[in-house]
Amino acid sequence: MIVGKRTGLEEPGEFVADGVDGLMIEAAGVQKVFEAGGLRVRALRGVDLGIRRGEMVAIMGPSGCGKTTLLNVLSGLDELTGGEVRVDGEPIRGMSDRRRTRFRAEKMGFIFQSYNLIPVLSAIENVELPLLVAGKKPKKARRWALDALEMVGLPEQADKRPAEMSGGQQQRVTVARSLVNNPAIVWADEPTGALDSETSKGIMDLLVRLNREQRQTFVLVTHDAAVAARAHRTILMRDGNITSDEPNGSPRGEGE
Ligand code: ADP
Ligand code: MG
């Protein structure tokens, strides 16, 4: 483990310890500085963090505290300014852009607040797109995409375009898209931010079930305490730092 300071992992957990220490994501002293137009923003100021395989972690904190930036540097979408990040044991920093893109395509799925679906494509075409981009055969991509749509309960909507679906259905399509390559990690940035509370609960039921059944690691940013409560653990951020990192005591719902 590269993490020297407190990581929030001191309590023995319920997670399967694959590999040396069972950690899927390790961050040590992570810093991110944005410089734009003479302005310097220290968005991350030395974040230490470890996330286990199969763990679902919620990240909360006021707007502008660095949640999205943290997700972006942990997932390799954005460069870090200082510190070290390892995902599944591999340092993100030394990777070439090409290698990192491939690493992301193989290991990671992404869910955003704005569904980021392509409007002219049907649900199934949106879901299979990452597979086609990754060079999978069209027939196989179609089969996997249908499986993923079934997993999120939308097989009947396969031929609909985003505009023909409700917000909750669109977010289910993005969940299907994020899972279609069976990624080890799913990153979700305010996945229920645009949904009413009932639809939001439906999406969280789905994510909790997938986390339990597929044992994927989930890292989700949310403003909603009810959403965070469904995770195994909640991390609080403020001004580019983690200020609290505690396991969630209460049951997660949906059978766990
Ligand atoms: P959160 O997701 O918690 O709302 P962000 O991670 O988006 O916060 O932003 C953290 C800080 O970094 C904010 O002060 C924000 O203005 C700044 N920031 C984020 N992205 C950029 C960027 N691309 N260029 C300059 N500053 C940025
Ligand atoms: Mg954000």
Structure tokens at 48: 């230490």
Q: Is the pLDDT of residue 52 over 60?
A: yes
- Do the Cβ atoms of 19 and 89 come closer than 8 Å? yes
253 within a domain of the structure (yes/no): no
18 within a domain of the structure (yes/no): no
22 within a domain of the structure (yes/no): no
Ligand 1 near 113 CB (within 6 A): no
What are the backbone angles phi and psi of residue 172, rounded to the nearest 5°? Answer: -65, -35
Q: Which ligand is nearest to the CA of 31?
A: 1
Atom of ligand 1 nearest to the CA of 65: 3
The preferred substitution site among 39, 40, 59, 68 for testing ligand 1, maximizing ligand atoms within 8 Å of CB, is 68
pLDDT-wise least confident of 80-84, 150-154, 184-188: 150-154
224 within a domain of the structure (yes/no): yes
88 within a domain of the structure (yes/no): no
Closest CA to 194 of 113, 96, 76, 83: 113
Q: Which ligand is nearest to the CA of 43?
A: 1
23 within a domain of the structure (yes/no): no
Q: Is the pLDDT of residue 256 over 80?
A: no
Distance, in Å, from the CA atom of 168 to the CA atom of 36, rounded to the nearest integer, reads: 36
pTM of the predicted model as reported, rounded to 2 decimal places = 0.87
Name the residue at shortest CA distance from atom 6 of ligand 1.
Answer: 66
Gap from CA of 44 to ligand 2 centroid (Å):
13
What are the backbone angles phi and psi of residue 246, rounded to the nearest 5°? Answer: -135, 145
Helix (H, G, I), strand (E, B) or coil at 34: strand
Any idea what DSSP says for residue 100? H
6 within a domain of the structure (yes/no): no
Domain that holds residue 172: 55-78+97-247
Q: Is the pLDDT of residue 47 over 90?
A: yes
**For residue range 2-32, what is the model confidence (pLDDT) as tens digits?**
433 334 443 433 444 444 458 999 999 999 9
The domain that contains 119 carries what CATH number? 3.40.50.300
Strand (E) positions, the chain? 23-36, 39-52, 56-60, 82-87, 90-91, 108-112, 185-189, 217-221, 233-238, 241-247
Q: Burial of 173 by CB count in 10 Å (0-12 exposed, 13-18 middle, 19+ buried)?
A: buried
Average pLDDT, the chain: 88
User: Checking DSSP bridges between strand 82-87 and strand 23-36, what pairing results, if any?
Assistant: antiparallel
Around ion ligand 2, residues with a beta carbon closer than 5 Å are 67-68
Q: How far is CA 44 from the centre of its chain?
A: 18
- Which pLDDT does position 105 carry in this prediction? 87
- Do the Cβ atoms of 51 and 25 come closer than 8 Å? yes
Q: Which ligand is nearest to the CA of 37?
A: 1
- Which pLDDT does position 3 carry in this prediction? 39
pLDDT-wise least confident of 17-21, 41-45, 48-52, 72-76: 17-21
**For residue range 154-166, what is the model confidence (pLDDT) as tens digits?**
999 999 999 999 9
**For residue range 123-146, what is the model confidence (pLDDT) as tens digits?**
999 999 989 988 899 999 999 999
Closest CA to 149 of 119, 121, 179, 120: 179
Distance, in Å, from the CA atom of 37 to the CA atom of 170, rounded to the nearest integer, reads: 37
Say how many domains are in the chain: 1
- Which pLDDT does position 64 carry in this prediction? 97
- Give the residue with greater pLDDT, 101 vs 1: 101
Distance, in Å, from the CA atom of 24 to the CA atom of 185, rounded to the nearest integer, reads: 8
- Which pLDDT does position 68 carry in this prediction? 96
Helix (H, G, I), strand (E, B) or coil at 151: helix
38 within a domain of the structure (yes/no): no
Q: Report the pLDDT averaged over residues 49-57.
A: 96
Name the residue at shortest CA distance from atom 26 of ligand 1.
Answer: 34
Gap from CA of 60 to ligand 2 centroid (Å):
10
Atom of ligand 1 nearest to the CA of 61: 3
Ligand 1 near 36 CB (within 6 A): yes
Name the residue at shortest CA distance from atom 23 of ligand 1.
Answer: 34
Name the residue at shortest CA distance from atom 25 of ligand 1.
Answer: 34
- Which pLDDT does position 93 carry in this prediction? 87
- Which pLDDT does position 12 carry in this prediction? 38
**For residue range 209-255, what is the model confidence (pLDDT) as tens digits?**
999 988 899 999 999 999 999 999 999 999 999 999 999 986 576 54
Give the Cβ contact number of residue 47 at 10 Å: 24
Q: Percentage of residues in the chain with pLDDT exceeding 90?
A: 72
Q: Report the pLDDT averaged over residues 164-169.
A: 94
Distance, in Å, from the CA atom of 33 to the CA atom of 17, rounded to the nearest integer, reads: 34
